[in-house]
Amino acid sequence: MILVSLLGGAPTSWGETVDGLASWANGPVQWLLLSDERKQIRRVNTSLEAEGFVEDFWALRDPQPDEPGNPYREAFIQRVEAADVLYGEKGVRGSLTDRGRALILLGPPTHVTISTEPALAWDPVESSDSRVKIRRVDVEIWGYRFADLPPGLLELWLEKKKKAAENTLTLTVMFRTVAHRTSLVEGGALLETASRAAVLRPD
């Protein structure tokens, strides 16, 4: 078996790398993978191909390819470590949760707003007249000033949206917590755009 870093780095030993690559792709690095890269992984058949894929994957996301190290990969590792500490849920490591995904792709938010709001819920145990109830749920909104967004993300986002609202100063991601499980309810398109922005090089 290979020893693949849980943080998405290169294996310390290759061995059975095809299986290891699949496991690697299901870890925190899944938030960075583009659809074409997922297809490439399914076509990997040898250890050499697996090793080459991982090397090319990080090289494509290196903002300073002529300098030693890779700042993007280093930031990824730090954010995975932070997400695992901050956002773990029962049976799920923090970097594989929705909030972990947002932290990995966008970095720490400029500001966070937490509130409790009413939401309709259906309780099958109750009689038919009282099955629909009002339940309080926690809502968490992460806001990002434009200056705090990852390089290239804002340009790609505004190009996708064609225009920005004149009074918009931040972009937001919203989560809702129900029964100790937090899920993304708004901002999925922004996170997908962040994945694509990571591979764009400035002219």
> pLDDT over 90 for what percent of the chain?
62
| Per-residue model confidence as pLDDT tens digits over 80-112 | 999 999 999 999 999 999 999 999 999 999 999
How far apart are the C-alpha atoms of 198 and 156, rounded to whole Å?
A: 11
Sign, CA torsion 103/106/107/113: negative
167 exposure class (CB count in 10 Å sphere: 0-12, 13-18, 19+): exposed
Residue 165 lies in a domain: yes
Q: Are residues 94 and 183 in the same domain?
A: yes
Residue 39 lies in a domain: yes
Strand, coil or helix: 189 = helix
Interval 146-165 mean pLDDT = 80
Residue 184 lies in a domain: yes
**pLDDT beyond 80 at 170:** yes
How many domains does the chain fold into? 2
pTM, full prediction:
0.83
Domain that holds residue 21: 17-60
| Per-residue model confidence as pLDDT tens digits over 46-75 | 999 999 999 999 999 999 988 999 999 999
Mean pLDDT of the chain: 84
Residue 78 lies in a domain: no
Q: Are residues 113 and 26 in the same domain?
A: no
Q: Are residues 39 and 108 in the same domain?
A: no
* Torsion, Cα of 9, 152, 41, 188 (10° steps): 100
Q: Are residues 157 and 92 in the same domain?
A: yes
| Per-residue model confidence as pLDDT tens digits over 18-48 | 788 999 999 999 999 999 999 999 999 999 9
pLDDT at 10 (0 to 100): 44
Residue 66 lies in a domain: no
Q: Are residues 27 and 106 in the same domain?
A: no
